[in-house]
Structure 1
Amino acid sequence: MLGISVNIFVVYLLFLSKQIGANELTFELPDNAKECFHEKLKVGSKYTLEFQVVTGGNYDVDLELKSPSGRVLYKEAKKQYDQIEKTAEEEGVYVFCFSNEFSTISHKVIYIDWRVDGDPEHEIKGNSPQVAQGALTMIESKVGGIHENLEKVIDYQTHHRLREATGRARAEDLQERVQIWSLGQFILIIIVAIGTVLLLRSFFTDRRPASSMSWHR
């Protein structure tokens, strides 16, 4: 009986993992560059796009999302973080592009999380496993709760790592600026010290007046 329950648990867990397609990616976007991603969806598919600028410049990026017919579904400029949840109304390839063309000196590191729910391509095919009637009800609720909790844990860990990476990048950038400022102050102090010494030295230096000779006839 325990072996059957374990098998049902594994089958249902695989079924849940097949139902939702998720892709997480962290990529580098150079300055004055544009990067696009493509995803083929069916009508009625629910998709979620979450992105965050981890490092670079003012931590902002332009994003544009287009439908297969070319209709703009989302367009925002200089965003640091956002989450887009929509339902596909057209079948075909959806395109979302990240642009850093407004920046000419700083590159960005961007994290994206793309999730698709309800797409037949992501769902398990074939007949359902044969189990005793009523035996799957309790297991479904338990496994469903475990699955949701695990998803929440993964999301919390991901966002915690992103916040840590962003905080570390800002701290390193601040440290670099402090070091450059300190170096500039040090050079300025040396220049002022040398100038002060030369000025004081000029005050105490004896200057012999030019000897004038008077001729008497």
Structure 2
Amino acid sequence: MAVVFTLLLSFLSFLQLASRAHAVALTTSIAANDRVCFYADVDKAGEKIGFYFAVQSGGSFDIDFEVREPSGKSLLDGQRERQGDYVFTANVVGEYQFCFENDMSTLTEKLVDFDIMVESEPRREPSTKPGQISEQTSALEESMFRLNTMLLNVKRTQKYFHTRENRGFDIVKSTQNRMFWYGVLESLGVIGMAIFQVYVLQTFFTKTGRRYKV
């Protein structure tokens, strides 16, 4: 019973540590020549911030981005990036700014998936209470953290394939539209050429108002 009780306490403590992390996963559309910003609060210095984004559709699948501290200092920035995955330590308490800018495009709207995660680093404290088996507790925590890491890797892989699927669908849709309009223009060209040929033939066989039969 003591072992089961210890494992249960360890599992509950792990859930408590996991609850310290909060994340925001969103999808936003950014119009041409537009700038969109999102914000995340950091309660104490030393927290980890994870920032992921990927352009799903629009133009060449690229976007400008910038991450700023509460003081306005730029931490990360990039131009014409298709996707990014960053983790950094927040040394300043306050509101962090995550901005996307679509200045390079004059007509095309961009669709961007992004994920902002703020979490505290979990610290393990050795148990001094009698009756608790620290070796089993430590082994259980190690297994949970490994499982968490594996789940994060699966999540990143899913995001990668989701992005590839959306980009492929956007390319196929764009190609279909181009083929459609190319077919329309080709048909109009053939019709115009036929009308022009009829006109030329009628003009060639007409002379001073008299029509000759052949």
Q: After TM superposition, is the score higher than 0.5? A: yes
Per-residue deviation at 1:7?
Answer: 3.3
- Is residue 88 of structure 1 aligned with residue 81 of structure 2? no
Deviations 1:44-87 (A, max 9, x none): 12212111111112222121211111111122222221223221
Residues 170 and 8 of structure 1: CA distance in aligned 2, closer, same or farther (over 3 Å): farther
Matched pairs, number: 202
Give unpaired runs (5+ residues) of structure 2. Answer: none
CA distance in 2, matches of 1:177, 1:9: 59
CA contact (8 A) 1:21 1:117 kept: yes
More displaced 10-residue stretch of structure 1: 10-19 or 66-75: 10-19
Deviations 1:177-212 (A, max 9, x none): 111111111111110111112212333346557xxx
CA distance in 2, matches of 1:163, 1:44: 34
CA contact (8 A) 1:9 1:143 kept: no
What is the aligned-residue identity percentage?
27
CA distance in 1, matches of 2:108, 2:171: 14
Aligned to 1:139: 140
Paired residue type of 1:150? L
- Is residue 39 of structure 1 aligned with residue 49 of structure 2? no
Residues 13 and 118 of structure 1: CA distance in aligned 2, closer, same or farther (over 3 Å): closer
More displaced 10-residue stretch of structure 1: 76-85 or 156-165: 76-85
Per-residue deviation at 1:140?
Answer: 1.6
Give unpaired runs (5+ residues) of structure 1. Answer: 210-217
Q: Residues 27-66 of structure 1 correspond to what in structure 2 (within 5 A)?
A: 27-41=28-42, 42-66=44-68
CA distance in 2, matches of 1:147, 1:9: 15
- SS of corresponding position for 1:194: helix
CA distance in 2, matches of 1:194, 1:8: 86
CA distance in 2, matches of 1:9, 1:86: 28
Aligned to 2:154: 153
Residues 86 and 146 of structure 1: CA distance in aligned 2, closer, same or farther (over 3 Å): closer
Aligned to 1:107: 109
- SS of corresponding position for 2:160: helix
CA distance in 1, matches of 2:49, 2:21: 10
Aligned to 1:118: 120
Aligned to 1:178: 179
Q: Which of structures 1 and 2 has the bigger CA Rg?
A: 1
CA distance in 2, matches of 1:141, 1:164: 35
CA contact (8 A) 1:38 1:94 kept: yes
Aligned to 2:74: 72
CA contact (8 A) 2:40 2:116 kept: no
Paired residue type of 1:85? V
CA contact (8 A) 1:13 1:147 kept: no
- SS of corresponding position for 2:19: helix
After superposition, the CA RMSD in angstroms is 2.6
Aligned to 1:195: 196
Residues 185 and 11 of structure 1: CA distance in aligned 2, closer, same or farther (over 3 Å): same
